[in-house]
Amino acid sequence: MLVFFPAPHVFHCEPTNMAACSVEELLAKAEQEEAEKLKSISVQKELDLEFDVGNLLACDKNRIETRDLREKKRNDFLRALARDNTQLLINEIWKLPTERVEEVIVAKLPEQTTRLPREKPPPKPKPPTKWEQFAKLKGIQKKKKTNLVWDETAKEWRRRWGYKRANDDTKDWLIEVPETADPNEDQFAKRNKAKKERVAKNELNRLRNIARAHKVKTPGEGLLPKAQQSKDELAKAVSVAKTSTASVGRFQDRLPKEKPPKNSGKKRKFEPLIGDFNSEKQKQLELLKIMGSKTPKLDITKAVNTQMREEDREEAAARRRKGAGGKGRKGNTAGRGKGKGPKGKGGKAGGGGGKRRGKPGKH
Amino acid sequence: MTQLDGIVKPKTKRSKRFLESRAPKLIEDVKNTMIMKGGNTSQIVTTALKDIYSLKKPNALLYFQCSLLVPFQEFFSKKSDCSLFLFGSHNKKRPNNFIFGRMFDFHVLDMFELGIEKFISLSQIKTSKFPEGTKPMLIFAGEIFDTDNDYKRLKSLLIDFFRGPTVPAVRLAGLEHVLHFTTLEGKIYMRSYRCLLKKSGCRTPRIELEEIGPSFDFVMRRTHLASDDLYKLAHRQPKALKPKKKKNISHDVFGTSFGRVHMQKQDLSKLRTRKMKGLRKRKGEVVDEDQEPKVAKVES
């Protein structure tokens, strides 16, 4: 326990009143000691406090014995405890090195010891731009340039770039037409256009640098991060994920209600190079025959299908027109039209592209 | 501002400065606080919120009629760049409720629900006050603050909340505010004192405390703590902030510091120990020993 005592006062007594002096002395000394105790900065604690002076923080781990305190006593007890703890903290702070800053005594705080969570994650280093990479490769250093440049024509200091810059060639009031140029060419417009092109190129490069920095890439196969994915996209993503295994999805189990994929298998089939020579010969001869003949080749099924599609389209258009007018008859006409269509056209093959209309009572 | 897939790039210097102030930094500045008032609040809660707002000025923002829904808070914290929040509400089931919380990357990290049992406001205690913005001294008493996990996190949150800006130096005469937190029988007592520095015999002053400021009696209700890995992630410091280790310096038990100097190999045959005239090499001596030492005359 440390107790500080300042230099005691020295009492001079007259030699005549010896007894009185000694009593006075004793009393004075006792008073002094009491006063000292009151003003002491020492605090007695079982366990030392833990200090984090960088944060002006102190933690007291001592047991708080007094329980079931009433209101008034509790406040006083808390106050006394706070006073003791604060005294210890202040003692610690006063041990720090001080300096004088503008007539004020200031104590330099050490590093904080309590680790507290950050507000945001630490910043990621930005990838260098194209120019920065090149400069590093070549060893080009950045040269510090002056802000203002002397402009001869305006006879004043102007900024190097930006609004009202020095030596702006688009602002020339007189441009000499060079000998090699076309006399009818507008030189002013030419300069303006060149500037616009430079600006656009710069902007493009800037955006490219940003895109490279943020690594915004579209995935080749798979889901683009969108709010709503459509059913086909999800199905595609599932099938891609399934086939991305070492055995290309052959041994992947399917979910209970999952249907087998529709368009799997080879997309195009080629005949083997050295196979059946006879069939190859036949194929080639037939091909030559068709190419040599003058009559056009007609595929009956294809023609019929085209015809049927045309009819359906016309009917749908007519239905829409009728539907806009009166909705009652829509059902009847649709049923009738559709029922008749395929049966009616079954036998109408022949004759290249002629359109035949067999619809009763629609004109 | 040109937008590229949600990334905003500034076009003016002012907007660029604004974005930079909100971007993550190596050394972060003081955390801002959102003080929100819920839909239904009692008089106690309103006054308490206002008191804490005055304690935390200028790093606090006051909002009214807020809800406790998480997306609401996330939106507000992003808008105002606040990472600490205090939500006050009152209903029959939970009277005089305070929720202290903090965010990491605009997602909720920790939340503590504390109920106010007793509250004495700033205006009720009639003493002179000190200017706002003084950095307070924080004292935590009670061994529960170090043993119980919940209380450990609560302590860290309270430190974060009340500590104020990080400063390299502090004015000795300006250490006026003390916040004292005590845990006793499951309750947390928060008292705020003004510190009077009295003369003592030596350089360090004697402290006298005067109660000032709001005094709270809290009881811990519900907690929502972050998972351990999220907590660790939030504490991760960037490499640049780690103190650089000085090589070749070691310290003794007594505090003497030793340094290590690495030398190249010396050719000991060429080592000259003393400068004596007799030992100095003379011209032509080594070449021909039979010659007369003519040089001797010149040297003397």
Residue A270 confidence (pLDDT): 80
Instruction: Indicate the pLDDT class of residue A337, thresholds 50, 70 and 90.
Output: very low
Whether the per-residue pLDDT at A363 is higher than 60: the answer is: no
Nearest residue in chain A measured CA to CA from B240 = A122
Of the candidates B23, B24, B180, which has its C-beta nearest A82's C-beta?
B180
Whether the per-residue pLDDT at A339 is higher than 60: the answer is: no
Token pair 């996190």 is found at B153
User: Which residues in chain B have Cβ-Cβ distances shorter than 8 Å to A117?
Assistant: 102, 104, 109, 156, 160, 231, 234-235
**Shortest distance, CA A333 to any CA of chain B (angstroms):** 51
Taking alpha carbons only, the member of B65, B101, B98 closest to residue B82 is B101
How far apart, in whole angstroms, are the C-alpha atoms of residue B113 and residue B223? 6
How far apart, in whole angstroms, are the C-alpha atoms of residue A141 and residue A99? 41
User: Which residues in chain A have Cβ-Cβ distances shorter than 8 Å to B6?
Assistant: none
CB contact under 8 A, A90 and B191: no
CB contact under 8 A, A6 and B4: no
Check residue A165 and report its DSSP letter: B
Return the top range by mean pLDDT from A31-35, A55-59, B59-63.
A55-59
Whether the per-residue pLDDT at A16 is higher than 70: the answer is: no
When comparing pLDDT for A5 and A126, which is higher? A126
When comparing pLDDT for A291 and B201, which is higher? A291
Write down the mean pLDDT value for chain B: 81
Whether the per-residue pLDDT at A51 is higher than 80: the answer is: yes
Q: Is the pTM of this model over 0.90?
A: no
Number of Cβ pairs < 8 A linking chain A and chain B: 198
Q: What percent of chain B has pLDDT over 90?
A: 2
The secondary structure of B196-257 as a DSSP string is EEE--SSSSPEEEEEE-S-EEEEEEEEEEPPPHHHHHHHHPPPGGGSPPPPTTEEE-TTS-E
Residue B173 confidence (pLDDT): 82
Instruction: Indicate the pLDDT class of residue A138, thresholds 50, 70 and 90.
Output: very high
Beta strands B215-224 and B107-120: pairing type? antiparallel
Instruction: Indicate the pLDDT class of residue B290, thresholds 50, 70 and 90.
Output: very low
Residue A296 confidence (pLDDT): 75
Element (H, E) at B20: helix B13-22
Of the candidates B2, B141, B206, which has its C-beta nearest A64's C-beta?
B141
CB contact under 8 A, B141 and A122: no
Angle subtended at Cα A319 by Cα A317 and Cα A323, rounded to the nearest 5 degrees: 120
Average pLDDT over residues B128-137: 79
CB contact under 8 A, B160 and A4: no
Out of A223-232, A312-321, B8-17, B131-140, least confident range: A223-232
Instruction: Indicate the pLDDT class of residue A196, thresholds 50, 70 and 90.
Output: very high
CB contact under 8 A, A81 and B138: no
User: Which residues in chain B have Cβ-Cβ distances shorter than 8 Å to A87?
Assistant: 206-207
CB contact under 8 A, A119 and B28: yes
Write down the mean pLDDT value for chain A: 77
Whether the per-residue pLDDT at A152 is higher than 70: the answer is: yes
User: Which residues in chain B have Cβ-Cβ distances shorter than 8 Å to A5?
Assistant: 201
- Residue A57 burial (CB count, 10 A): 23
Of the candidates B172, B178, B189, which has its C-beta nearest A107's C-beta?
B172
When comparing pLDDT for A282 and B41, which is higher? A282
- Exposure string of B87-113, with b = 16+ CB inside 10 Å and e = fewer, is bbbbeeeeebbbbbbbbbebebbbbbb
Out of A229-238, B85-94, B112-121, B207-216, least confident range: A229-238
Interface test with A, best of B19, B119, B140 (most A CBs within 10 A): B140
Taking alpha carbons only, the member of B232, B8, B222 closest to residue B104 is B232
- Residue B26 burial (CB count, 10 A): 11
Residue A346 confidence (pLDDT): 40
Q: Check: CB of residue B249 under 8 Å from CB of residue B258.
A: yes
Average pLDDT over residues B102-122: 87
Of the candidates B28, B139, B198, which has its C-beta nearest A86's C-beta?
B139
How far apart, in whole angstroms, are the C-alpha atoms of residue B82 and residue B31? 7
Token pair 């010149």 is found at B298
**Shortest distance, CA A97 to any CA of chain B (angstroms):** 10
User: How is residue B142 written in tokens?
Assistant: 């009670």
Whether the per-residue pLDDT at B79 is higher than 60: the answer is: yes
CB contact under 8 A, A85 and B136: no
Instruction: Indicate the pLDDT class of residue A200, thresholds 50, 70 and 90.
Output: very high
Whether the per-residue pLDDT at A349 is higher than 50: the answer is: no
Whether the per-residue pLDDT at A37 is higher than 60: the answer is: no
Average pLDDT over residues A38-66: 80
**Shortest distance, CA B102 to any CA of chain A (angstroms):** 9
Which 3 state secondary structure label does DSSP give A320? helix
How far apart, in whole angstroms, are the C-alpha atoms of residue B223 and residue A195? 62
Residue A64 confidence (pLDDT): 77
In chain B, domain spans: 30-228
Whether the per-residue pLDDT at A29 is higher than 60: the answer is: yes
User: Which residues in chain A have Cβ-Cβ distances shorter than 8 Å to B59?
Assistant: none
How far apart, in whole angstroms, are the C-alpha atoms of residue B286 and residue B300? 19
Whether the per-residue pLDDT at A326 is higher than 70: the answer is: no
Element (H, E) at B101: strand B97-104
How far apart, in whole angstroms, are the C-alpha atoms of residue A246 and residue A251? 10
**Shortest distance, CA A305 to any CA of chain B (angstroms):** 47
Instruction: Indicate the pLDDT class of residue B55, thresholds 50, 70 and 90.
Output: confident
CB contact under 8 A, A118 and B235: yes
**Shortest distance, CA B75 to any CA of chain A (angstroms):** 15
Average pLDDT over residues A13-31: 69
Q: What percent of chain A has pLDDT over 90?
A: 13
Residue A202 confidence (pLDDT): 93
For residue A128, cis peptide bond before it (omega within 30 degrees of 0): no
Average pLDDT over residues B123-138: 79
Element (H, E) at B258: strand B257-259
When comparing pLDDT for A149 and A344, which is higher? A149
Q: Check: CB of residue B216 under 8 Å from CB of residue B51.
A: no
Instruction: Indicate the pLDDT class of residue B167, thresholds 50, 70 and 90.
Output: confident
User: Structurally, what CATH architecture does the domain formed by B30-228 represent?
Assistant: 3-Layer(aba) Sandwich (3.40)
Residue B57 confidence (pLDDT): 79
How far apart, in whole angstroms, are the C-alpha atoms of residue B72 and residue B34? 12
